[in-house]
Structure 1
Amino acid sequence: MRIATPLAYATDPRSGADAVATWEQDGLDVVWVSEAYGFDAPTIMGYLAAKTTRLQIGSAILPIYSRTPALLAQTAAGLDAVSGGRAILGLGASGPQVIEGWHGVAYDRPLTRTREVIRICRQVWRRETLVNEGIYRLPLPAEEGTGLGKPLKILTRPVRDSIPIYVASLGDKNVRMTAEVADGWLPFLYDPGRAADIWGAALAAGQRKRSADLPPLEVVAGGPLAIGADVTGLRDLARPLIALYVGGMGAKGRNFYHDLLCRYGYADDADRIQELYLAGRKTEAAAAVPAELLERTSLIGPESYVRDRVQAYRDAGVTILNVTPLGPDPRRLIATVKDMAR
């Protein structure tokens, strides 16, 4: 099991890259760069490529609506070139709030769109001439443009003809599609003890349709990490982020994270968090996050406890343990959890 860490939205990119370069020496294998409506991820990923030598650099995530498939493929190929073949293209549909509110693009047909994006990206990296009939019509037909468009293939030669594509997904249909066509899966608020009940059937259905040409599906999950006798209070640091997603990343009746908490058995808590957050009472919304959820989606406690948590993620099928080290000595935490993962 490999070890990864996310670069948080609020992190200064330069100091964050310096820290990641140090953690690389302690065994860190993958760093994930988020985007949402903060800094764009590819710029920071390119900076990380220059600061590191071994670890993989992934986007988590680039929304499929904000860039054309060809641009997504070009961006991943460029990052793969400057990093020497260390790029991971993490994709996701995001949600209507961000896509329509920030990008001004209609949030429609996310599953079909994701499939097409993945297929077109792989065509680009194989240097195939782009022709596509679907949501993305390549070349654009004359009745929709000038009629001068022609099929093209990428001018440069990608370092790899198959860059790993990981998909962030939560709902059954999206998870099934991810297991069928992606190289990796990026779930959110992953509880290893309940994952099989929530996603097992969808993953199995997708795996049955998976091409033999694809490698085994990577599963990326984890949470905040702290090791010690008196560190359980650090679980509370996750409250504002969970409240943001469950309460604010969507609307009533259209919030994937709220739905996930309901599936976990926290329906009343999810409703309460959403109600408070949408009313502007963010502190109270954070306080309403169940303590049990904080425990089950983190790796915080004495060393023996954290070791058991690492094993629980491994037993659940996680192949890349994604941790956020908390406390004054993140290097020790990365090195320790790397030993546990071995």
Structure 2
Amino acid sequence: MRLGYPLDYAGDPRAAADGVAALERAGLDVVWVAEAYGFDAPTLMGYLAARTDRVQIAAGILNVYSRTPAAILQTAAGLDNVSQGRAILGLGASGPQVIEGFHGVPYTQPLRRIRETIDVVRAGLRRERLSYTGRTVTLPLPPGTGTGLGKPLKLLTRPVRDRVPIYVAALGEKSVQTTAEIADGWLPFLFAPERANAVWGNALRAGAALRDPSLGALDIAAGGLLYLGDDPVAQQRALDAARPNAALYVGGMGAKNANFYHELVSRYGFAEQADHIQQLYLGGRHRDAAAAVPEELLRMTNLVGDRAQLAERVAAYRNAGVTILNVAPAPGTDPVDQLRQMRELVDGSPG
């Protein structure tokens, strides 16, 4: 099991990146660079490539609307070059608020767009001439559109690898099924390992039945906020630190009737609580919404406890198929020490 670390996209990315080299020495395997609607991810990923030697550098995630598939191809190839083959391309659809509000692009056919973008990126990394006719992507533009001068081109430069791993962020059944069919890895959010099979098992199995064997097994990268220690006060403080983020996603992401995270938490068995959190959050009562997040949900979706408790959590993630355990050390802790202890625990656990 590899250990991943998500950089905080809302803070100072350069300051956060400065600590990644120390985390690498402590046993970090993958660093995830988010984008949302702050700084772009590839710029920071290139900076990380220069500051590290071994850790894989992953986009977590690039949306498939604000860049053309060919631009995403160029980014993947360029990052893989400067990192000497350590890039992971994380893709997703994001949501209508960001895509239409920030980028001014219609949020249409997200699953189809992800699938067709992956097709183009993989063909481009193989340096095939890009000739593609899909529902959301057409290369080159057909006669009668544009100048009519476009022709199929292949990537000008040679990538380090002709196959950069592609992970997809997905939550809904259809999107998870598609991910299990075509992607190298899956990026779920608010992942509760004990509930994963009940919520996503059918979708994962349906996608696996259509999967090209050459892709190998599907990686799953999931985890949460980390506190490894015996102090019950510090444990509670860590759980409380996870509340605002959970409330933001369950209560404030998307429209009231189009919130993927609210739907997920409801499927976990917290429908009444999810409705209450959303009502408070959309009413501007963010602190009350955070306080309303059930502690059971926080414990299920994070890694907080003493060594014995976290050994049980690691086993639960392993049993759910997780191959990259993402950990975000709790505020007020020493992230290098926390990650080092987690590395020892994971390496010493069965499996």
TM-score (norm 1): 0.98
Aligned counterparts of 1:292 and 1:328: Cα–Cα separation in 2:
22
Are residue 339 (structure 1) and residue 344 (structure 2) matched? yes
1:242-295 CA distance string (max 9 Å, x none): 111112210011110010011011111111111111121111111111111001
1:77-115 CA distance string (max 9 Å, x none): 100000000000000001111111111111110111110
Give 5+ residue unaligned stretches, structure 1: none
Aligned pairs for 1:91-102 (under 5 A) are: 91-102=91-102
Aligned counterparts of 1:92 and 1:161: Cα–Cα separation in 2:
21
- Measured after TM superposition, the shift of residue 53 of structure 1 is 0.4
- Measured after TM superposition, the shift of residue 142 of structure 1 is 2.6
Worse-superposed segment, 236-245 or 175-184: 236-245
Are residue 131 (structure 1) and residue 93 (structure 2) matched? no
- Measured after TM superposition, the shift of residue 144 of structure 1 is 2.0
What corresponds to 1:143 in structure 2?
144
Aligned counterparts of 2:273 and 2:39: Cα–Cα separation in 1:
32
Aligned pairs for 1:1-342 (under 5 A) are: 1-134=1-134, 135-230=136-231, 231-233=234-236, 234-326=238-330, 327-342=332-347
- Measured after TM superposition, the shift of residue 328 of structure 1 is 2.8
Give secondary structure in 2 for the equivalent of 1:251: coil
Q: What amino acid maps onto 2:54 in structure 1?
A: R
Q: Is the Cα–Cα contact under 8 Å of residues 228 and 342 in structure 2 kept in the other structure? A: no
TM-score (norm 2): 0.96
Q: What amino acid maps onto 1:264 in structure 2?
A: Y
Please identify runs of 4+ aligned residues in structure 1 that moved more than 3 A. Answer: none
Aligned counterparts of 1:334 and 1:229: Cα–Cα separation in 2:
16
Give 5+ residue unaligned stretches, structure 2: none
Q: What amino acid maps onto 1:188 in structure 2?
A: F
Aligned counterparts of 1:100 and 1:276: Cα–Cα separation in 2:
25
Worse-superposed segment, 4-13 or 101-110: 4-13
Aligned counterparts of 2:235 and 2:345: Cα–Cα separation in 1:
19
- Measured after TM superposition, the shift of residue 306 of structure 1 is 1.0
Aligned counterparts of 2:283 and 2:104: Cα–Cα separation in 1:
24
1:184-216 CA distance string (max 9 Å, x none): 000000001111111111001101111011121
- Measured after TM superposition, the shift of residue 166 of structure 1 is 0.1
- Measured after TM superposition, the shift of residue 121 of structure 1 is 0.2
Q: Is the Cα–Cα contact under 8 Å of residues 4 and 327 in structure 2 kept in the other structure? A: yes
- Measured after TM superposition, the shift of residue 11 of structure 1 is 3.1
Aligned counterparts of 1:105 and 1:245: Cα–Cα separation in 2:
22
Aligned counterparts of 1:281 and 1:310: Cα–Cα separation in 2:
34
Q: What amino acid maps onto 2:255 in structure 1?
A: A
User: Between the two proteins, what is the percent identity of the paired residues?
Assistant: 61
Q: Is the Cα–Cα contact under 8 Å of residues 3 and 343 in structure 2 kept in the other structure? A: yes
The count of residues paired between Structure 1 and Structure 2 equals 342
Aligned counterparts of 1:13 and 1:262: Cα–Cα separation in 2:
33
Q: What amino acid maps onto 1:216 in structure 2?
A: A
Give secondary structure in 2 for the equivalent of 1:154: coil
